[in-house]
Structure 1
């Protein structure tokens, strides 16, 4: 993983938006990112969030990572992709 973030800021975002888990997968997780790669994040919220709230979280995370973020809810993962994602997953906040 070749990504530097402010872990205190990440913790603040997760606490502010009631995120129970945040994990990194995809090109950054396996060290194959390119200049134009986005950051793929798996998220679990403690409570259901509105589209507006999810948008705020997305903006905060894009500002933190300083690039586009693809925010994926664990509840919405296709069953066929779960093993692929779980194999790459790097926990950034919370517990698997």
Structure 2
């Protein structure tokens, strides 16, 4: 990943993100820490792969399930209109799923 002087983040040769627009979107939704995980960071990323996004919201953010859907829709254009899989940090930390709890620390570090 590299950031150029034009504020464009190049994740892959075919995937470039405008940092200032991404920053504005995060501010609008009170996202204090966005992080990618999954195939977008690995060699098995394909043209039909979705984008896995882990977010941490500000403590003051009041986010509903409808908001989560809207956030996915608004982030998708940054990644070539690919489907988004949005996961919140809080959901991993407080999950009842033993696999997610076991693997969650790897995502969060």
2:45 is matched with 33
Q: 1:69 aligns with which of 64, 73, 84?
A: 84
2:63 counterpart of 1:49: yes
Task: Report the TM-score, using the length of structure 1 for normalisation.
Answer: 0.79
Name segments (4+ residues, structure 1) moved above 4 Å: none
Q: Which structure features the higher share of helix residues?
A: 2
After superposition, the CA RMSD in angstroms is 1.6
SS of the equivalent of 1:49 reads: coil
Aligned residues: 87
TM score, norm. by length of structure 2 = 0.71
**Contiguous gaps of at least 5 residues in structure 1:** 88-96
Q: Deviations over 1:20-48 (max 9, x none)?
A: 11001101112320111001110011123
In structure 2, the gaps of 5 or more residues are: 1-10, 93-99
Structure number with larger C-alpha Rg: 2
The C-alpha deviation readout for 1:2-31, integer Å capped at 9, x for no partner, is 131111111010001110110011011123
